[in-house]
Structure 1
Amino acid sequence: MSKKKFISEVLKSTGTIGALSPSSSFLAAKMLEPIDFSKADCIVEFGPGTGVFTHKLLEKMKPEAKLLAFEINPSFIEELEKINDPRLIVINDSAEKIQDYLDQHHFTSADYIISSLPFAMIPDAVVHNILTNSDNALSENGKYIQFQYSLNAKKKLQSYFSEVRINFTFLNLPPAFIYICSK
């Protein structure tokens, strides 16, 4: 997707897209750093957008692993559906319904959840449901990895996960904080 089309989608999104440009490859590398791909059978991605993280995940995933990608923007879904990889399952639904889709695809839990959701732009009740359901859906040693453009989400994430570590990258527009959360 062109940068011009991405910006057009941001302007049309009524607050569902929190970025001004697609994520950088530097942010993608930082987001994927905590993942042990040799042990990951099921990875979930919230808000994949144009698929920057999606492509990187698929490059590193095992042949038998699955990636469930939750996206609600129709133009982004169209882009994601162009990815020709049987491991990718594009889901046009709210991240709140993670367990329903894990069950539907015969997974008891997710090994990793990667999220690009703009918490500051999503109603608190929806964020609460997403984080509660994510914590419940994670495997015992699973990780929830979220990026944001500020430290405002730290306390919120600490109320759902027992451990929250923070990384940072300047090499993104704007610079981003990466939260690595454990059960």
Structure 2
Amino acid sequence: MSKNKFITEVLKSGGTIGALSPSSSFLAEKMLKPIHFNEAKCIVEFGPGTGVFTTKLLEKMSPDAKLLAFEINPAFHEELKTIQDDRLIVINDSAEKIDHYLMLHRLETADYIVSSLPFAMIPDEVVDAILKNAFEALSLKGKFIQFQYSLNALSKLKAMYTKVKINFTFLNLPPAFIFICSK
């Protein structure tokens, strides 16, 4: 997807897209670093947008792993569907329905959840439902990995997870915080 088309989608989104440009490869590298790809059988991605993280996840995933990608923006959803990989399941629905889609695809839990959702732009009750359902869908040793442009979500994440590690990258526009959460 071109940068102009991305910006058009941002302007049309009514606040559901929280970025001004697609995520950088530097951010993707930091987001994916905590993932043990040789052990991961189910990875879930919330808000994949143009697929920057999606393609990098697929490059590193095991041949028998699955990637469920939740994207509500119709243009991004269509773009993601052009990725030819049998391990990828593109879902045009809210991330709060993670449990339904895991069950639908006969997956017990998610080993990792990689989230790009702009929590600051989503109503609190929806954020709370997404976080609660993600926590419940995550395996005991799993990790919830979220990036944000501020520390606003930190208190919600710390209230839910026993360990929240924070990384930061200047090499993204805008610079981003990465939260790595463990049960």
Smaller-chain TM-score range? over 0.9
Query: Shift in Å at residue 86 of structure 1?
Result: 0.4
The residue aligned with 2:61 is 61
The letter of the residue matching 2:114 is I
The residue aligned with 1:116 is 116
The residue aligned with 1:154 is 154
1:134-181 CA distances to partner (integer Å, 9 max, x unpaired)?
000000100000000011111111111111000000000000000000
SS in 1 for 2:114: strand
Q: List structure 1 segments (4+ residues) > 4 angstroms apart after TM superposition.
A: none
Counterpart-to-counterpart distance in 2, 1:81 and 1:66: 15
1:29-67 CA distances to partner (integer Å, 9 max, x unpaired)?
000000000000000000000000000000000000000
Task: Give the fraction of aligned pairs with identical amino acids, expressed as a percent.
Answer: 74
The residue aligned with 1:30 is 30
SS in 1 for 2:160: coil
Structure 1: state its 5+ residue gaps: none
SS in 2 for 1:139: strand
The letter of the residue matching 1:83 is I
The residue aligned with 2:168 is 168
**Matched length:** 183
The residue aligned with 2:84 is 84
SS in 2 for 1:40: coil
Structure 2: state its 5+ residue gaps: none
SS in 1 for 2:166: strand
TM-score (norm 2): 0.99
Counterpart-to-counterpart distance in 2, 1:83 and 1:120: 29
The residue aligned with 1:45 is 45
